[in-house]
């Protein structure tokens, strides 16, 4: 029955002019669905086995590689008032250019010739030092003179003592002779008395001999007194010598005291001079601090004080200066989950705000408008936002970064990890597994060695 039906339909198809009939009945036409299905499966398999570069995405800001190249505040060290501005916001200055002139506000520094007056004080103190040193030198000379005078005085007294000793020796000899004579006269007077009693000599002769004996006694007594007097004079000379030594030692000690007093006064005055010189140097430095200069070349921004005569306190910010010719870098933040996958020397791909780019995150080689960087530092302490800060510098071996980049501009970083098949990446994302751990070649080579 089907054969007849098919024959009839064919006859109808041949004889009929209805176009809709050929659109509805597709019995005699071959279908290409199977081919399309097989082609899609093959293409899908090919896509799934294609390599895919795992990555970590993070937003960042443009900063500098060195902290001294970042925007810095220019502060005043001393208080003052604004006298004159030499620049305005937006101007470019070189290192050492004057930015602002300040005026004095403290009463103790109002003297217009303060430096000259302080220098005069230093000169007066230096003259005092010279005078004290001269007095000390004079005391040394005086001490030498006193020592010489004492030596002469003692030599004179020693000579007198020597003479007195010779006199004592002479007096001792005279006394010894007188004693010998007295003994002889004593024997004679005894013999004369016997002879007088015997009648050998007369009374007159005896009286003569007795007078001679009395003279001998008187001479002996006189020589003894002279000897004692000489000895007393020798003792007086010795006392005089000790007195002279004491007198001159007192004078020498006084002269030495004056010398040490002068030396002490000179040292004290020298300390005052050093203090005044320090004060003078501080005054001079303070005068120079009234002119605020640029610490480095850059652009002036954010002037905090504007009007003439406005007051500034110590440490107040005057302007902010953005350095020129800085080495730019990007600071981005990585979550603690991805931190073990970040290493120093690892490559990062960037998309900078304001620069169009076409990005294929899995195939970084096919991306357009991206720029490369190298991780130079990974902080070990967590930031206030709960993430870890990573600093990325420009990759010198790749496309240079745009010259129009500015500090604080935004960027999107893509840290490149290990190359895996697409099916593995899909399986990893479905299961929530972390990316594969990636070790830079330099670090791996070092570890292997």
In which band, very low, low, confident or very high, does the pLDDT at 361 lie, cut at 50, 70 and 90?
Answer: low
pLDDT at 177: 86
CB 92 within 8 A of CB 448: no
| Helix 203-289, helix 114-198: angle, nearest 10 | 170
pLDDT at 424 over 80: no
Average pLDDT of span 38-46: 83
What's the predicted TM-score (pTM) here?
A: 0.56
Question: Running DSSP on this structure, what letter comes out for residue 368?
Answer: B
pLDDT at 155: 92
In which band, very low, low, confident or very high, does the pLDDT at 122 lie, cut at 50, 70 and 90?
Answer: very high
β-sheet bridge partners, residue 103: 81
pLDDT at 278: 93
Q: Percent of the chain at pLDDT above 70?
A: 83
Question: Running DSSP on this structure, what letter comes out for residue 366?
Answer: G
pLDDT at 239: 92
Q: Six-digit token pair at 254?
A: 């006084």
Cβ-based burial of 159 (10 A; exposed 0-12, middle 13-18, buried ≥19): exposed
pLDDT at 411 over 90: no
CB 338 within 8 A of CB 437: no
pLDDT at 271: 93
pLDDT at 20: 57
pLDDT at 191: 81
Give the span between the Cα atoms of 54 and 425, in whole angstroms. Answer: 8
Q: What is the mean pLDDT of the chain?
A: 81
For residue 15, count other CB atoms closer than 10 A to its CB: 7
pLDDT tens per residue across span 130-188? 999 998 899 889 999 999 999 998 999 899 888 988 888 888 888 888 888 888 888 88
Q: Six-digit token pair at 340?
A: 């073990």
Residue of 420, 430, 431 whose CA lies nearest to 55: 420
pLDDT at 445: 47
Average pLDDT of span 229-244: 89
H-run or E-run covering 378: strand 371-382
3-state SS assignment for residue 69: helix
Average pLDDT of span 327-346: 82
Using alpha carbons, list the distances in angstroms from residue 128 to 133, 140, 271, 272.
Answer: 8, 18, 12, 11
pLDDT at 396 over 50: yes
Give the span between the Cα atoms of 127 and 266, in whole angstroms. Answer: 10
Which of 2-6, 60-64, 178-182 shows the lowest mean pLDDT across its residues?
2-6
CB 33 within 8 A of CB 41: no
Question: Running DSSP on this structure, what letter comes out for residue 78?
Answer: S
Q: What is the DSSP string of 19-53?
A: HHHHHH--TTSPP-HHHHHHHHHHHHHHHHTSEEE
Average pLDDT of span 32-50: 79
For residue 392, count other CB atoms closer than 10 A to its CB: 28
């Amino acid at each position: 029955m089907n054969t007849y039906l098919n024959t009839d339909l064919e006859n109808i198809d041949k004889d009929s002019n209805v176009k809709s009939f050929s659109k509805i009945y597709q019995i005699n036409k071959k279908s290409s669905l199977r081919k399309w299905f097989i082609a899609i499966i093959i293409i899908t398999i090919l896509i799934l086995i294609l390599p895919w570069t795992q990555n970590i995405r993070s937003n960042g800001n443009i900063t500098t590689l060195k902290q001294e190249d970042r925007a810095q505040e220019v502060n005043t060290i001393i208080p003052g008032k604004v006298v004159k501005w030499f620049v305005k916001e937006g101007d470019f200055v070189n290192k050492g250019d004057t930015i602002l002139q300040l005026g004095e506000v403290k009463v103790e520094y109002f003297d217009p010739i303060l430096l000259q007056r302080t220098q005069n004080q230093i000169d007066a103190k230096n003259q005092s030092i010279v005078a004290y040193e001269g007095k000390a030198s004079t005391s040394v000379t005086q001490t030498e003179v006193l020592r010489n005078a004492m030596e002469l005085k003692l030599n004179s007294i020693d000579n007198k003592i020597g003479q007195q000793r010779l006199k004592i020796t002479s007096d001792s000899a005279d006394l010894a002779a007188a004693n010998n004579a007295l003994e002889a006269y004593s024997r004679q007077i005894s013999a004369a008395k016997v002879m007088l009693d015997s009648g050998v000599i007369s009374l007159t002769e005896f009286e003569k001999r007795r007078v001679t004996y009395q003279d001998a006694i008187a001479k002996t007594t006189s020589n003894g007194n002279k000897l004692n007097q000489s000895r007393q004079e020798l003792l007086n000379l010795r006392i005089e010598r000790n007195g002279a030594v004491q007198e001159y030692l007192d004078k020498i000690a006084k002269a030495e005291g004056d010398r040490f007093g002068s030396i002490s006064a000179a040292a004290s005055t020298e300390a005052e001079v050093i203090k005044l010189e320090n004060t003078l140097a501080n005054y001079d430095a303070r005068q120079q601090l009234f002119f605020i200069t640029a610490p480095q070349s850059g652009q002036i921004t954010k002037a905090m004080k504007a009007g003439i005569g406005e007051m500034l306190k110590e440490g107040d910010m005057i302007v902010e200066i953005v350095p020129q010719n800085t080495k730019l870098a990007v600071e981005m933040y990585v979550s603690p989950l991805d931190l073990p996958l970040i290493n120093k020397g690892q490559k990062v791909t960037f998309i900078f705000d304001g620069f169009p780019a076409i990005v294929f995150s899995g195939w970084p080689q096919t991306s357009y408008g991206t720029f490369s960087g190298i991780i130079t530092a990974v902080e070990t302490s967590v930031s206030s936002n709960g993430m870890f800060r990573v600093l990325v510098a420009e990759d010198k071996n790749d496309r240079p970064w745009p010259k129009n980049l500015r500090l604080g501009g935004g960027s999107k970083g893509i840290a490149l990890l290990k190359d895996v098949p697409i099916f593995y990446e899909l399986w990893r994302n479905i299961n929530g597994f972390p990316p594969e751990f990636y070790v830079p070649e330099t670090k791996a080579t070092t570890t292997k060695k």
